Amino acid sequence: QKEVEQDPGPLSVPEGAIVSLNCTYSNSAFQYFMWYRQYSRKGPELLMYTYSSGNKEDGRFTAQVDKSSKYISLFIRDSQPSDSATYLCAMTGNTPLVFGKGTRLSVIA
């Protein structure tokens, strides 16, 4: 079993839709959970950073962590064509970040 599992998609949604992206993990030591966005031919950029369980909101983005289920989610409200990218979940327990495979998202105008 991989440490971090993420459905690679691709996911295609119409503009304005609510997008839900998810990851599961197996390592109970993970405490810090992140979502990175990666545009084509660019490096990943940090989108959301959450410590332990709970919700965090930043504009149209909401990150949720459920440590009891080892499940994290990223919600994007009112999705825009500019949100089209690959979204990578990443997590750590004070070791180097472990990444999921990434989910490729396309938002169609």
Partner 1 sequence: EAGVAQSPRYKIIEKRQSVAFWCNPISGHATLYWYQQILGQGPKLLIQFQNNGVVDDSQLPKDRFSAERLKGVDSTLKIQPAKLEDSAVYLCASSLDLAGGYTFGSGTRLTVV
Question: Using CB under 8 A as the criterion, which residues of the chain lie in contact with partner 1 when the complex forms?
Answer: 4, 6, 8, 32, 34, 36, 41-46, 49, 88, 90, 94-102
Identify which of residues 34 and 107 has a Cβ nearer to partner 1 in the complex. Answer: 34
Identify which of residues 17 and 61 has a Cβ nearer to partner 1 in the complex. Answer: 61
Q: CB of 31: closest distance to partner 1 in angstroms?
A: 10
Exposure of 48 by Cβ count < 10 A (0-12 exposed, 13-18 middle, 19+ buried)?
Answer: buried
CA distance 8 to 78: 22
Identify which of residues 49 and 75 has a Cβ nearer to partner 1 in the complex. Answer: 49
Q: CB of 49: closest distance to partner 1 in angstroms?
A: 6
Q: CB of 48 within 8 A of CB of 75?
A: no
Residue 65 CB: number of other CB atoms within 10 A? 23
Q: Count Cα neighbours of 74 within 13 Å in the Cβ-side half-sphere.
A: 29
Residue 29 DSSP class:
T
Q: CB of 89: closest distance to partner 1 in angstroms?
A: 8
Identify which of residues 13 and 98 has a Cβ nearer to partner 1 in the complex. Answer: 98
Q: CB of 11: closest distance to partner 1 in angstroms?
A: 15
